[in-house]
Amino acid sequence: MIYFASDPHFAHNREFLYGPRGFTNIEEHDEALIGNWNSIIRDDDTVYVLGDIMLKDNETGIECWNRLRGQKKVIWGNHDSIVKQELIAVCPNTEILGYATVIKAESHNFYLSHYPTLTSGFYGEDHRIQNKIINLCGHTHTKDRFIDMDKGIIYHCEFDCHDNFPVSVEEVISDIRDHTARRFQE
């Protein structure tokens, strides 16, 4: 199974990060994200992580990262400094994909990046998402996964907008189809 997640910010001890996610401190935050992740991800699942893995305490951040199940594929974010990149790159079950990449999954094309990026829009009469390139992103810490859909087919994968869980490729496709159907029925 394929999943996506963005902006775990392990060890980022700032209330503006963990507070809106429903936690009273960073330790509670990190344990909940790890528990949520490991409750649905199996060792043979693939999780594309769209940046901002950890901040501040690198030792704790790496410890959290290494506790996550699955095959982790990383897209770098704005907080993933060279030092952090070097630490993450040697972790087990981790593959580095750079700053963006394109994948095909479930007959759909996805452009994976940390930042929201315009890749396709709903132009003309063809509103079928399987004929488009869907941008999956993070960065903004929004609670609204569709916040940028008025600009193009941009879907947010932050923990913030998925109740602190990774999101499956099936859920992404279903969400976008439902959102698109509502949008074009109005």
Structurally, at CATH architecture level, domain 2-185 sits in: 4-Layer Sandwich (3.60)
Q: Check if the beta carbon of residue 77 is closer than 8 Å to that of residue 7.
A: yes
| Long-range contacts (CB closer than 8 Å, 24 or more residues apart) made by 15-22 | 17/141, 20/141, 20/143, 20/160, 21/159, 21/160, 21/164, 22/164
Confidence band of 123 (pLDDT split at 50, 70, 90): low
Confidence band of 184 (pLDDT split at 50, 70, 90): low
Tokens matching residue 7: 């902006």
Q: 96-122, pLDDT tens digit by residue? A: 999 999 999 999 999 999 999 999 876
Per-residue b/e over 106-121, b at no fewer than 16 CB within 10 Å? eebbbbbbbbbbebbe
Q: 84-103, pLDDT tens digit by residue? A: 999 999 999 999 999 999 99
Tokens matching residue 136: 């999956």
Q: Which residue has the tokens 């996805």?
A: 110
The full set of domain ranges for the chain reads: 2-185
Angle, alpha carbons 26-32-57 (nearest 5°): 35
What's the confidence (pLDDT) of residue 91? Answer: 98
What's the confidence (pLDDT) of residue 132? Answer: 87
Q: Check if the beta carbon of residue 140 is closer than 8 Å to that of residue 147.
A: yes
What's the confidence (pLDDT) of residue 43? Answer: 97
Q: 39-74, pLDDT tens digit by residue? A: 999 999 999 999 999 998 999 999 999 999 999 999
Reduced to 3 states (helix: H, G, I; strand: E, B; else coil), residue 152 is coil
Tokens matching residue 23: 């936690």
Least confident of 29-33, 67-71, 94-98, 175-179: 175-179
Greater pLDDT, 163 or 150:
163
Helix (H) or strand (E) holding 167: strand 167-168
Least confident of 93-97, 138-142, 157-161, 177-181: 177-181
Q: Which residues pair with 79 in a beta bridge?
A: none
Confidence band of 183 (pLDDT split at 50, 70, 90): low
Query: At 161, which amino acid appears?
Result: C
Query: At 43, which amino acid appears?
Result: D
Q: 131-145, pLDDT tens digit by residue? A: 889 999 999 999 999
Distance CA 148, CA 145 (A): 8
The alpha helices in 41-103, defined as continuous H runs, are 58-66, 82-89
- Describe the strand order of the beta sheet including 108-113 as a list of residue ranges: 100-105, 108-113, 133-137, 154-156
